[in-house]
Amino acid sequence: MESEVIDKDAEKQVILKEYRSLLRSLRKNTTTQEKKMIRAAFELAMDSHKDMRRKSGEPYILHPIQVARIVAEEMGLDAVSVVCALLHDTVEDTEVTLEEIERTFNKEVAKIVDGLTKISGIFDLNSSIQAENFRKLLLTLNDDIRVILVKLADRLHNMRTLESLKREKQLKIASETMYLYAPLAHRMGLYAIKTEMEDLSLKYTEPDLYRDIAQKLQEKKKERTKFIADFIKPLKEELEKREFKFEIYGRPKSIFSIYNKIKYKGVPFEEIYDLFAIRIILHADPDKEKSDCWGVYSAITDIYHTNPDRLRDWLSNPKSNGYEALHTTVMSNHGKWVEIQIRTDRMHEIAEKGFAAHWKYKEGTADNALDLWLEKIHNVLSNQDANAIELVTDFKHELVSDEIFVFTPKGDLKRLRKGATALDFAFEIHSAVGKKCIGAKVNNKLVPLSHILKNGDQIEILTSNKQSPNEDWLSYVVTAKARTVIKQTLKEEKKTIAKQGKDLLEKKMKQLKMEISEANISLLLSHFKMISGMDMYIAVATKKIDISALDTLEVIAGKIKLPKPPNTQKLAANESIDEVVKKTLQKNAELLIMGESSDKIDYKFAPCCNPIPGDDVFGFLTINEGIKIHRTNCPNAVQLMSRYAYRIIKTRWTKQHEIAFLTGIKLTGLDDVGLVNKITNIITGQMNLNMRSLSFDSEDGIFEGKIMVYVHDTAELEDLTHRLNSLDGILEVGRFDSEDA
């Protein structure tokens, strides 16, 4: 009994010691009132968790105190965040209510604690319910980002004390930390926390490899220390000579970053030279930060040879999470490349404490970058129609991707994910611009939608009112915003097209006195081999299903039956194709010339304009070749009609279902892989038309194509033109009048 009292007294001393350490880590400008609020939070947490213990056996209250210390020391957050860290588990694990917290403290504290309660245990991303909860939580990022920051501190402390849990629990927590929490810390600019999370995750997911790397680093420590001292010495002397105020030291690379090189780049440990980076922290005046950093860079280049391809200027263009620094890689006297990072005290604090430090320095541009990112994420996550797991995956990609910096024609800077395309850039400008994008000029050179952008590119977007998104676009984009808008647009377009198709089908069914019932729709689905009604309606609207075929169907006792196939005309052994065509032409009376059927009059089609059924036409009586049929908009029509009006013969079309006529189509567009295949698929696959010839020429990313194709009438030609025009990358489709054009 006595030993238990002694233990409790000892525990009480440990708790008080941790609490005093927390108070010491508070900001210097913390007010007396704020300290009283922290004391009240500590006492409420103590009382709430008094009978609770962690898996390690220690009092539970040590966990919220440690989380609060991370929030204060390692993130530099305000007193409200410290209070919320102390209370973060009270509502979930104890009988304390949100109403009680609001009464004791205020609405602000209650709101953050509520967010922290909701976030607890929802990171099983294999579950759509959990993914949906996560989506809702992330939408609160705009309300108070401190919810996420305190949760990151909570997760970091859990990772630091993971050894007391069972193996399966360790793997689950470490894996989800690697998957989401570490990237989230990176995106919030908390590099030190992100690195520790990655290393600790690796320690539990791949313990043997972790120990192996850690051991080798330890073995090389003495050698590495000597190398760093030799490398730093001339730099230090030069910077002191130039009267810079600074600190310089070698920082070992994280075990996780070394693991990545071993596993994914196939580099053995012994061949990894950049096991550390040199960091120079300048004590610079606020108005001289950039010039001092470049001054240090100049001093470095006087001593060591730099690698021009490895210069990273995040002074002029900070990362969107606020990171500012100058990175360069130089060749040491030992023949090894060494990375040097140059930053000021302010930049260093922001690099270590992320957005929390921005609140301290009130740097407008950095805060704007956060606001822009949060707005972008909010737009992506607020799409109610999208699959929750897909949204979380998109969000994850936004977290982990590197950035590139590109420019508008007016020189405005835009940040995009590495791997972003011209189409991503168009959607970044505006959703409406993205939807109408047909291509782009990158550094004044024409490129297709799928062109991958590079740092420093200047992009001008080309648009057309005829353009609209299609399914292929999803393979051209990597940004969450572009993917979300494309999916939303395609969904709306499908609904519109399906409605048109449904109206057409129901109209046809009414004409045939066919009952519009679920049974008949199901039979039609089966007949047309369609999975869903929407698919069938879209196929009807896009003419992939010919509803005129319904004329040959019968409705008997509520069932649709196919009639017997019609008799087909066989070609007699002594009959030529031309004679069959002539018979068919006579049968259908394709052309009326001066009121007479064309089979009674000798005529030819003029090669200058290649008329087809449906065209406005006229006959012209020639001297030697009889009557020639021209289109009224033929290039020669004006001259013939004005000079030889007395030779003009009234001509018009009648039926035009059987004979195909040759016509020419000219296309121009952006040269892209697979475009010719898409064009021929429309002509021969979708519309079942015959081509006589096809030719394509390409220059500077623009192609020009000419196709001679057989069509039955102008309606079919217009349909073909419309389908070709709707292809991604096609700028213009027109008809040309002869094969020589």
Instruction: Encode 413-456 in three state secondary structure.
Output: EEEEECCCEHHHHHHHHCHHHHHCEEEEEECCEEECCCCECCCC
- Concatenate the DSSP letters of all residues of 49-69 into one string: TTT-B-TTSSBTTHHHHHHHH
Q: Nearest to residue 447, comparing CAs of 655, 612, 252, 672? A: 672
Number of Cβ atoms within 10 Å of the Cβ of 569: 9
660, 710 Cβ separation under 8 angstroms: yes
Question: Mind telling me the catalytic residues?
Answer: 92-93
pLDDT along the chain (741 residues), means of 10: 55 84 82 87 85 79 90 84 87 80 85 76 48 55 72 90 84 80 79 90 87 85 85 91 90 82 73 76 90 92 87 83 85 84 88 61 46 58 52 57 78 81 91 89 87 87 85 86 85 86 84 75 77 83 77 50 40 42 43 58 78 80 80 76 72 64 83 77 81 76 82 82 84 70 45
What pLDDT is attached to residue 308? 82
Q: Which long-range contacts (CB under 8 A, 24 or more apart) does 191-196 make?
A: 191/323, 191/351, 191/352, 191/354, 192/74, 192/352, 193/70, 193/74, 193/75, 193/152, 193/153, 193/156, 195/254, 195/256, 195/257, 196/156, 196/159
Delimiting residues of CATH 3.10.20.30 domain(s) in the chain: 366-468
What percent of the chain is helix, strand and coil (3-state, nearest 5)? 55, 15, 30
Distance CA 561, CA 520 (A): 11
What is the DSSP-derived secondary structure letter of residue 472?
A: G
Could you give the residue range(s) of every CATH 1.10.3210.10 domain in the chain? 14-190
Evaluate whether 412 touches 431 at the Cβ level (below 8 Å): no
- pLDDT at 23 (0 to 100): 84
CB 351 within 8 A of CB 189: yes
SS3 at position 486: helix
Contact 703, 697 (CB under 8 A): yes
Give 586-610 pLDDT, tens digit per residue.
444 356 665 555 555 677 888 887 7
CA Rg value for the chain: 37
Evaluate whether 576 touches 584 at the Cβ level (below 8 Å).
no
Residue 705's DSSP bridge partners are 667, 696
User: What distance in Å separates the CA atoms of residue 391 and residue 395, rounded to the nearest whole number?
Assistant: 6
Residues paired with residue 699 on neighbouring β-strands, in sequence order? 702
Distance CA 401, CA 414 (A): 15
CA 209/CA 201 separation, integer angstroms = 12
Q: Distance (Å, rounded) from C-alpha 410 to C-alpha 661?
A: 50
pLDDT at 137: 54
| Pairing outcome for strands 702-711 and 730-736 | unpaired
The CB-side HSE value for 336 (13 A sphere, CA atoms) comes to 17
Cα separation, 562 vs 552, in Å, equals 7
Alpha-carbon distance values, 634 to 375, 513, 609, 610 (Å): 56, 45, 6, 9
SS3 25: coil
Residues ≥6 apart with Cβ < 8 Å to 106 = none
Burial class (CB in 10 A: 0-12, 13-18, 19+), 674: exposed
Domain range 14-190, CATH class: mainly alpha
218's tokens: 């330890």
Instruction: Quote the tokens at residue 653.
Output: 């079309």
Q: Which of 399, 403, 342, 427 is nearest to 138 (CA)?
A: 399
Residues whose CB is less than 8 angstroms from the CB of residue 76 and which lie 6 or more positions away in sequence, other chains included: 27, 349, 353, 356, 357, 360
User: pLDDT tens digit string along 446-494?
Assistant: 888 889 998 878 889 988 888 888 888 888 888 878 888 888 888 888 8
CATH architecture under which domain 661-736 falls: 2-Layer Sandwich (3.30)
Which residue is it, tokens 């690796």?
202
Q: CB–CB of 590/600 below 8 Å?
A: no
Work out the number of other CB atoms within 10 angstroms of the CB of residue 466: 14
Which residues belong to CATH 3.30.460.10 in the chain? 216-353
Q: Amino acid letter at 700?
A: D
The correct answer on CATH 3.30.460.10 for the domain covering 216-353 is yes
CB atoms within 10 A of CB 693: 11
Q: What does CATH list as the number for 366-468?
A: 3.10.20.30
